[in-house]
Structure 1
């Protein structure tokens, strides 16, 4: 699902809201999550999951086309871990301990 589909679905479920207002709400939420991750914070949405930032060390990689070795700088990447409730809804038959 892309952001425009999310906005459309939320607007359809809430006919008392204008679509542009729903779009502003979704954009604000995503902007706040992005801002928190940029500050190194963790964002947890109960029942959905948690967003965090993981640091990746510098390494030597390979150019897949030429096979040439390439230096890859250290970087921070966003990471998402699903919440327990989300996993249970996606895997209803699973017997996880």
Structure 2
């Protein structure tokens, strides 16, 4: 099952009785906005007990088109990687 932004908003709304639906939406949107800005700026995003999002620079490299076999150059780019915390990893694997 995929957890969507709408599902996340619903869970925040349901678990915080003092928030209105609009406040729950704004809370989730604010968190996502701050997270995106941090990653766009090249900063890591560390969420204790959850994991770390890291922006990594990848250099240009040679590649090939799998359909035609033609060689091409893949441009340099930045990618986001995620490393789960030990706590999350243990819970996923059922060892905690």
TM category (shorter chain) comes to 0.7 to 0.9
Q: What is the total number of aligned residue pairs between the two structures? A: 94
Deviation at 1:2, TM superposition (A): 1.3
Q: State the TM-score, normalized to the length of structure 2.
A: 0.87
Deviation of residue 10 (structure 1)?
Answer: 1.5
TM-score, normalised by the number of residues in structure 1 = 0.86
Structure 2: any 5+ residue segments left out of the alignment?
A: none
Partner of 2:14: 12
From 7, 21, 24, the equivalent of 2:23 is 21
Q: Which runs of 5+ in 1 are unaligned?
A: none
Output the aligned Cα RMSD: 1.5
SS in 1 for 2:63: strand
CA deviation vs aligned residue, 1:2-29 (integer Å, no higher than 9, x gap): 1111111121112321122111111111
